[in-house]
Structure 1
Amino acid sequence: MSIGTGERIATLDIVRGVAVMGILAMNIVAFADVPAAYFNPLAQTVAVRTGDLFAYAGNFLLFDGKMRGLFSFLFGASLLLMSETMALGRVRRRLFWLLLFGAAHFFLIWWGDILVTYAAIGFLALAFRNASPRALVVTAVVLILVQCAIFAGMTLYSLDLQGPVFAGTATPEQLKSWEELTRDTIMPSTARRAEAIALYQGPWTALVHHQVTEKAMFPVVGTFAFGWETLAYMLLGMAALKTGLLTGAWDNRRLLTWALVCLAVALPVYLVALRFLFRSEWAASAVFMWAFAAAAPVRPIMVTAFACLIILATRRGGPLVERIAAAGRAAFSNYLGTSIVMTGIFYGWGLGLYASLGRMELLLVVIAAWAVMLLWSKPWLERFRYGPLEWAWRSLTNWRVEPLRR
């Protein structure tokens, strides 16, 4: 089917703007502290306070996985829209350049890049552009079940190791496997934490060397491990565009009904998961079971609820909504720009605040970054056609310097 323009663009930009802002709330801990602190609040380097636990709980319910899912949702919808308005070869060139941007982001700026995965999975998603909404949803469900099976396998593996490790009967091989499994997801050893702090508070050249020599395969492994879910979200985004959710075609009653039903299904699962995580004090098996395996099947339902609520809440427009839409139009610049600013704040080549702030203080950093996104995006786009990196991406895709000024 052919998709109209007009309100579609505004709706997509608004939801994308919320997503790119929300992704920072999700990623801020990964910028600022050891990787395990993202999944386990007790793993943060500074002393854990009650406020940090509340911040973790809010992040788990509102942002963790949902903003990434929403961003993937929008990416799939944008792919479908591009495939209807430009030649398929040009769409593939855009994905190729996105892959290169992502690789540069990963090796030169930050280890948490998602662009490589998006580009690689995007090539696969294009094959589904002519599928019906029903076929897209069914395929997405199958992919999510595969992702759940992978997470369930991780849970069983952690249980298999956890018993002998805690009983003191683990073999050297089991201890090594346990350390490799938990150092970046549950709790790093003292030595591992010291190594991470020294690395990220050290010179930029050491970081690049580490990425090239120690983590070069990380994007590939991550794509194979988590790409099933990413492709599912992209297909659901295509379905959402084709059914009118992301074009602004749904009326308020339909949006509210879907949001309430989806929340009624997904939110209780997240609340139960949160309870078990707190009770277990983020034991490995609990994290893999509740934060990964149990959350995976309900996360797309939560993403759908959020999309409906965002569209419903912003439908009347206004100055703030206009600024959010502008942040969405410049989402590529905001995403990569955020990585540069955040690593500049926390890494040794900048202010060197790595491993020195708790989750409560990090919320203030997030709010300040949101303010910057909202302040710069709109005036920039009033003077220029595209965000700076959107312009570079478009120029490279078309292999000519595109006009930038209005």
Structure 2
Amino acid sequence: MTSPAPPIARITAIDTVRGFAVLGILIMNVVGMAMPSAAYGDPRAYGGSGGADLIAWLAAFVIADGKMRGLFTMLFGASMAIVADRAAARGASPAAVHYQRMAWLLVIGLIHAYLIWHGDILAEYAVTGAILFFAIAWRPAALFYMALVFWGVDIAMHVDAWWALDTLRAAASQPDAAADTIAHWMRLSTPDAAAAARELAAYRGDFADIEAARIANALAIQRMLPQLLVESLGMAALGIGLYRTGYFTRWPARAHRALIVAGAVALVLTAWIAGGAVGLDPVAMHGADVASLMLRPAIMLGYASALILLVASGKMRWLVARLAAAGRMALTNYLASSIVLTTIFYGYGGGWFGAFSRAALVPFVLAMWALILLWSAPWLARFAYGPAEWLWRSLARRALQPMRISHKPPSKRE
């Protein structure tokens, strides 16, 4: 295993990109917290599908959908490698340290999923980390190959789903189509208004109603875990490989600039693809998902490289400092976003579930971004960890960790 020598610049770059990602995932997550589940991927299901709402969906699809989650997962993989290397450097067992962390991350994720917000990703990360540790010391080339294979499998699954839907529509459009074929097409291609109404009633209700719906939705997501792991294993492997090559600190600026250009081109192509789905035809939307998935890694790396160059340039230090602080407290900020927003929208809080259109949710995202950027740096000026990071570290190490930073002046001998 590589011996660690993590310079400050490396940590700053990783934290800055992570901070950007934890902000970016709110663009998509807020829809899952404020509207029925189907609205997350289909604007026809709820939240408005025209005018400003359609623009909001298109912007989120192009800029954030899958990209921020993928970036967050990639950084989770890089963090796995950092923690393993540091454990080895201090003479601890990397495997023991890692699996203790993953076990408690699973607990935190399940609490988040079943008591706060059903769209949790932490439990998925815990399983991803538990599986992927066997490759923690692989050469970067092998890790990149693994990422490529999982990416290819993910694309193949999406292509298969798109092809099946297109084939079903063709069969249902035939003059002699069977009634069950037509009914099957209608079920898959039309948002389920009754299911949306049930979620609206549940999440606007009391705690018992909300908890029943939250458990049902969390279970539905976790039943998809084998499919979801295809993406997360690939992105985490990519993150480990990039970390091993020194992507966050040693790559030449020209390589980062090339990735930024590739990401910009991929963003333009994704916008063009989204334009083809603007009519919200179900088959066209599935096709856009496939094409977007193919372009996703280029956009993710374009975002990351732009931020790495920003850190290296020494410019906009106030922004870098705020993003890096948000990234150091990514777990806390992720959980805090869920707590704040679900309290606003769920019945036991503001009771505004389903009350806002898609475009009207943008101010909530901006406000949450402001809170994260405003509070993370002052907190870390006084404390070594975010609250959730401190809890996770204390649980994994089976001892309360020192929290407050000492600001005692150095002695004369120092």
Fold equivalence (TM over 0.5): yes
Counterpart for residue 299 of structure 2: 302
* Helix, strand or coil at the partner of 1:351: coil
Q: CA deviation at 1:48?
A: 4.3
- On the 8 A contact 2:63/2:267 being kept in 1, the answer is no
Q: CA deviation at 1:219?
A: 4.0
Counterpart for residue 207 of structure 1: 210
Unaligned runs of at least 5 residues, structure 1: none
The one-character-per-residue Cα deviations of 1:14-42 (angstroms, maximum 9, x if unpaired) are 11000000010121111111222222223
- On the 8 A contact 2:344/2:352 being kept in 1, the answer is yes
Q: CA deviation at 1:137?
A: 1.0
Counterpart for residue 392 of structure 1: 391
Structure 2 CA distance for partners of 1:159 and 1:133, relative to 1, 3 Å = same
Q: CA deviation at 1:147?
A: 0.8
In the TM superposition, what are the counterparts of 1:134-153 in structure 2 within 5 Å? 134-153=141-160
Counterpart for residue 286 of structure 1: 284
Counterpart for residue 277 of structure 2: 277
Counterpart for residue 230 of structure 1: 232
1:36 aligns with 2:43: no
- On the 8 A contact 1:39/1:287 being kept in 2, the answer is no
Tell me how far apart the structure 2 counterparts of residues 260 and 122 of structure 1 sit (CA, whole Å). 31
The farther-off stretch of 318-327 and 293-302 is 293-302
Structure 2 CA distance for partners of 1:156 and 1:392, relative to 1, 3 Å = same
Tell me how far apart the structure 2 counterparts of residues 13 and 127 of structure 1 sit (CA, whole Å). 25
* Helix, strand or coil at the partner of 2:120: coil
Letter in 2 for 1:203: D
Counterpart for residue 254 of structure 2: 253
Tell me how far apart the structure 1 counterparts of residues 167 and 210 of structure 2 sit (CA, whole Å). 34
1:97 aligns with 2:104: yes
Letter in 1 for 2:281: A
Counterpart for residue 267 of structure 1: 267
Tell me how far apart the structure 2 counterparts of residues 115 and 136 of structure 1 sit (CA, whole Å). 22
Tell me how far apart the structure 1 counterparts of residues 222 and 36 of structure 2 sit (CA, whole Å). 21
Counterpart for residue 54 of structure 2: 53
Counterpart for residue 375 of structure 1: 374
The farther-off stretch of 118-127 and 281-290 is 281-290
Structure 2 CA distance for partners of 1:57 and 1:173, relative to 1, 3 Å = closer
Structure 2 CA distance for partners of 1:170 and 1:78, relative to 1, 3 Å = farther
* Helix, strand or coil at the partner of 2:356: coil
Tell me how far apart the structure 2 counterparts of residues 335 and 12 of structure 1 sit (CA, whole Å). 17
Letter in 2 for 1:245: Y
* Helix, strand or coil at the partner of 1:41: coil
Tell me how far apart the structure 1 counterparts of residues 270 and 31 of structure 2 sit (CA, whole Å). 20
Letter in 2 for 1:208: E
- On the 8 A contact 2:67/2:299 being kept in 1, the answer is yes
- On the 8 A contact 1:93/1:397 being kept in 2, the answer is yes
Counterpart for residue 342 of structure 2: 343
- On the 8 A contact 1:17/1:325 being kept in 2, the answer is yes
Tell me how far apart the structure 2 counterparts of residues 324 and 309 of structure 1 sit (CA, whole Å). 13
Q: What is the root-mean-square deviation in Å for CA atoms of aligned residues?
A: 2.0
In the TM superposition, what are the counterparts of 1:127-206 in structure 2 within 5 Å? 127-165=134-172, 169=177, 171-172=179-180, 175=183, 179=187, 181=188, 187-206=190-209
Q: CA deviation at 1:189?
A: 3.0
Q: CA deviation at 1:134?
A: 1.2
- On the 8 A contact 2:77/2:236 being kept in 1, the answer is yes
Q: CA deviation at 1:244?
A: 1.4
4+ residue runs over 4 A deviation: 164-170
The one-character-per-residue Cα deviations of 1:208-241 (angstroms, maximum 9, x if unpaired) are 22343x3454343332112111111111111111
Tell me how far apart the structure 2 counterparts of residues 372 and 171 of structure 1 sit (CA, whole Å). 53
1:13 aligns with 2:15: yes
- On the 8 A contact 1:3/1:242 being kept in 2, the answer is no
Letter in 1 for 2:285: V
* Helix, strand or coil at the partner of 2:137: coil
Instruction: Name the TM-score, length of structure 2 as normaliser.
Output: 0.89
Tell me how far apart the structure 1 counterparts of residues 274 and 49 of structure 2 sit (CA, whole Å). 17
Instruction: Name the TM-score, length of structure 1 as normaliser.
Output: 0.91
Q: CA deviation at 1:3?
A: 3.6
- On the 8 A contact 1:344/1:351 being kept in 2, the answer is yes
Tell me how far apart the structure 1 counterparts of residues 218 and 68 of structure 2 sit (CA, whole Å). 26
Percent identity of the aligned residues?
Answer: 35
- On the 8 A contact 1:384/1:404 being kept in 2, the answer is yes
* Helix, strand or coil at the partner of 2:44: helix
Structure 2 CA distance for partners of 1:283 and 1:399, relative to 1, 3 Å = same
The one-character-per-residue Cα deviations of 1:292-329 (angstroms, maximum 9, x if unpaired) are x2222221121111110122234315122211111111
Unaligned runs of at least 5 residues, structure 2: 88-92, 406-414
Counterpart for residue 115 of structure 1: 122
Structure 2 CA distance for partners of 1:36 and 1:165, relative to 1, 3 Å = farther
Tell me how far apart the structure 1 counterparts of residues 292 and 353 of structure 2 sit (CA, whole Å). 29
Q: CA deviation at 1:176?
A: 5.5
Tell me how far apart the structure 1 counterparts of residues 4 and 390 of structure 2 sit (CA, whole Å). 24
Tell me how far apart the structure 1 counterparts of residues 126 and 179 of structure 2 sit (CA, whole Å). 41
- On the 8 A contact 1:97/1:393 being kept in 2, the answer is yes
Structure 2 CA distance for partners of 1:170 and 1:402, relative to 1, 3 Å = farther
Q: CA deviation at 1:259?
A: 1.4
Q: CA deviation at 1:256?
A: 1.1
